[in-house]
Structure 1
Amino acid sequence: MSSKANQKKHIIVISYDAFSEDNWEMASKQPNLSKLIKNGAYTTKVKSVYPTLTYVIHATYVTGVYPNKHGVYHNNPFQPFVAEEDQSWHWFRRDIKVPTVYDEVTKRGMRVAGILWPVSGKASINYNIPEIKAIKNENQAIKILKNGSPIFSIGMELKYGRYRKGIEQPYLDDFSTMCAVDTIKHKKPNLLLLHLIELDEAKHALGTKGQHIDQAIQRMDKRLGDIMDAVEDAGIKENTTFIVVGDHGQLNVRYKVYLNRLLKDHGLIYEENGEMKWRAYVQGAGGAAYLHVKEGDLEAQKIALELLDQAREENCYGIESIFTRNDLDALHVDTKFHYMIEAKEGYAFADAYDEPIIVDLHERGIKYATHGYSPNKPNYTSALVISGEDIKNECELGDVEVIDIAPTIANILGIDFPNCDGRALTEIFKISVKL
Structure 2
Amino acid sequence: MESANHPKPDKYVLIISIDGMANYYLQDPNVRMPNLRELIRGGVCADGMESVFPTATWAIHSSLVTGNYPRKHGVLGNWVVDRPNRRVGEHFGDRMWDMRDVLRGETWYDAAKRMGWTTASVCWPVTRGADMIDYNIPEFYEQEMFESHCTLSLWNELKAAGLPVECYGEWSRDHARGPMQDWLTTEIAKHLIDRHNPNLLQLHYLLPDSYQHNYGVRSKEVYWSLEYVDERIGEVLEALDQKGILEKTDVFVLSDHGFVNTTRTFYPNVLFKHKGWLAPNLNDEHEFKDSKVVAVSNGGSGYVYVLEDDAEAKELLMIEVRRALADSDGVGRLFEQEDFPSLGLPAPGEVDDHCPDFAFEAEPDCFVHFDCSGEEVTGSFTKFKGMHGFLPHREELKAVFVAAGPSIRPGASLPEIRIVDVAPTIARLLGTELKDTDGRELDTIWKEEVRLWSC
1:365-398 per-residue CA deviation (whole Å, 9 max, x = no partner) reads x651111111122432011101112312233411
Q: Could you tell me which of 183, 192, 197 is aligned with 1:183?
A: 192
Is 2:262 aligned against 1:253? yes
Identity %: 27
Contiguous gaps of at least 5 residues in structure 1: 1-6, 135-139
Is 2:268 aligned against 1:265? no
Amino acid at match of 2:299: G
Shift of 1:148: 2.4
- 8 Å CA contact 1:28–1:37 kept in 2: the answer is no
Q: Which residue of 2 aligns with 1:290?
A: 303
- Cα distance in structure 1, aligned partners of 2:226 and 2:238: 18
- Cα distance in structure 1, aligned partners of 2:195 and 2:393: 42
- Cα distance in structure 1, aligned partners of 2:337 and 2:89: 29
Is 2:411 aligned against 1:398? no
Q: Which residue of 1 aligns with 2:372?
A: 353
- Cα distance in structure 1, aligned partners of 2:391 and 2:282: 39
1:234-292 per-residue CA deviation (whole Å, 9 max, x = no partner) reads 11112101110110111111111111111111111136999962111111111111110
Change in CA separation of 1:266 and 1:304 when aligned onto 2, cut-off 3 Å: farther
Change in CA separation of 1:75 and 1:419 when aligned onto 2, cut-off 3 Å: same
Amino acid at match of 2:368: F
> After alignment, is 121-130 or 263-272 more displaced?
263-272
- 8 Å CA contact 1:251–1:346 kept in 2: the answer is yes
1:336-384 per-residue CA deviation (whole Å, 9 max, x = no partner) reads 443211111001211112222112226xxx6511111111224320111
Q: Could you tell me which of 209, 229, 244 is aligned with 1:200?
A: 209
Shift of 1:329: 1.1
- 8 Å CA contact 1:44–1:382 kept in 2: the answer is no
- 8 Å CA contact 1:257–1:348 kept in 2: the answer is yes
Q: Which residue of 1 aligns with 2:320?
A: 306
- 8 Å CA contact 1:204–1:368 kept in 2: the answer is yes
Please list, as runs of the form range in 1=range in 2, the aligned pairs for 1:206-217 lying within 5 A after superposition: 206-217=215-226
Change in CA separation of 1:390 and 1:110 when aligned onto 2, cut-off 3 Å: closer
Q: Which residue of 1 aligns with 2:5?
A: none
Q: Which residue of 2 aligns with 1:3?
A: none
How many residues are matched? 418
Q: Could you tell me which of 166, 171, 191 is aligned with 2:171?
A: 166
- Cα distance in structure 1, aligned partners of 2:204 and 2:88: 27
Please list, as runs of the form range in 1=range in 2, the aligned pairs for 1:10-409 lying within 5 A after superposition: 10-26=12-28, 29-78=32-81, 88=95, 92-123=99-130, 124-134=132-142, 140-141=143-144, 143-159=145-161, 160-161=163-164, 166-167=171-172, 168-270=177-279, 277-294=290-307, 295-300=309-314, 302-303=316-317, 305-313=319-327, 317-335=329-347, 336=352, 337=355, 338-355=357-374, 356-361=376-381, 368-409=385-426
Alignment TM-score, normalising by the size of structure 2: 0.85
Change in CA separation of 1:125 and 1:83 when aligned onto 2, cut-off 3 Å: closer
1:144-192 per-residue CA deviation (whole Å, 9 max, x = no partner) reads 2432210102222443217866323110000001111121222111111
- Cα distance in structure 2, aligned partners of 1:58 and 1:181: 23
Amino acid at match of 1:36: L
Shift of 1:104: 1.7
Shift of 1:298: 4.7
1:95-130 per-residue CA deviation (whole Å, 9 max, x = no partner) reads 212221211211222100000111101112001111
Shift of 1:301: 5.3
- Cα distance in structure 2, aligned partners of 1:268 and 1:13: 45
- Cα distance in structure 2, aligned partners of 1:207 and 1:254: 10
1:53-86 per-residue CA deviation (whole Å, 9 max, x = no partner) reads 1010111111111111111012234266769999
- 8 Å CA contact 2:97–2:128 kept in 1: the answer is no
- 8 Å CA contact 1:128–1:153 kept in 2: the answer is no
Shift of 1:30: 2.3
Change in CA separation of 1:221 and 1:406 when aligned onto 2, cut-off 3 Å: same
Change in CA separation of 1:36 and 1:270 when aligned onto 2, cut-off 3 Å: same
Change in CA separation of 1:256 and 1:301 when aligned onto 2, cut-off 3 Å: farther
Change in CA separation of 1:430 and 1:312 when aligned onto 2, cut-off 3 Å: same
Aligned residues: CA RMSD? 2.7
Change in CA separation of 1:91 and 1:377 when aligned onto 2, cut-off 3 Å: farther
1:184-221 per-residue CA deviation (whole Å, 9 max, x = no partner) reads 22211111111100000001111112110111011011
Counterpart secondary structure, 2:81: coil
- 8 Å CA contact 2:93–2:140 kept in 1: the answer is no
Change in CA separation of 1:369 and 1:300 when aligned onto 2, cut-off 3 Å: farther
Shift of 1:299: 3.6
Shift of 1:334: 2.0
